[in-house]
Amino acid sequence: MKGFRQFLLRGNVVDMAVGVVVGAAFGGVVNSMVKDLLTPFLAAVVKKPDFSAFSFEIHGGRFLYGDFINNVISFVIIAAAVYFAVVLPINALMARLQHAEKPAQPNSKKCPECLSDIPIEARRCAHCTQPVSQARVPA
């Protein structure tokens, strides 16, 4: 039982459980937004709120292609809502955070002769006394 308890209380299992619960709640929010806000807007534009009645028959077999159209439209709307409401803002936030973390300017360079680290402004290597060209420091 001790091993099972450690498995359950490990960070990965708890994080995954929280992710599943939050994902399910978020899925409900997205589905509600699509069903209650975006689909009526689409129905107002197209003047047909529901395509599920569209069908055809071949040799007694009924093909309900209207329901398929409803599901495709719902998928596209959900994908667009998730992209514009979640993915774009997160990408913008991550780009802003990465932009804020600029790499520090190097303060040393390698000697071309002995490959030891020397200061950027050095004109001669302290280890092998070889002349070193002056490095340009980027602005």
Domain holding 21: CATH number?
1.10.1200.120
Chain center to CA of 43: 31
pTM for this model (two decimals):
0.48
Q: Are 34 and 87 members of one domain? A: yes
Left, alpha or beta for 55 (phi > 0: left; psi -120 to 50: alpha)?
beta
Same-domain pairing of 39 and 68: yes
For residue 58, give the amino acid letter: I
At residue 101, the pLDDT reads: 65
CB 27 within 8 A of CB 43: no
Helix (H, G, I), strand (E, B) or coil at 127: coil
What is the tally of structural domains in the chain? 2
Model pLDDT, residue 139: 40
Are residues 39 and 21 located together in one domain of the fold? yes
59 and 82, same domain (yes or no)? yes
Of these ranges, 37-41, 102-106, 115-119, the one predicted with the greatest mean pLDDT is: 115-119
Strands 61-63 and 108-110: unpaired
> If you average pLDDT over residues 31-49, what whole number do you get?
76
Range of the domain at 134: 106-139
Contact assessment for residue 63 and residue 57, using Cβ atoms and an 8 Å cutoff: yes
Asked whether residue 62 falls in the same domain as residue 122, the answer is no
Q: Angle between the 65-82 and 11-33 helix axes, to the nearest 10 degrees?
A: 120
pLDDT at residue 137 tops 60? no
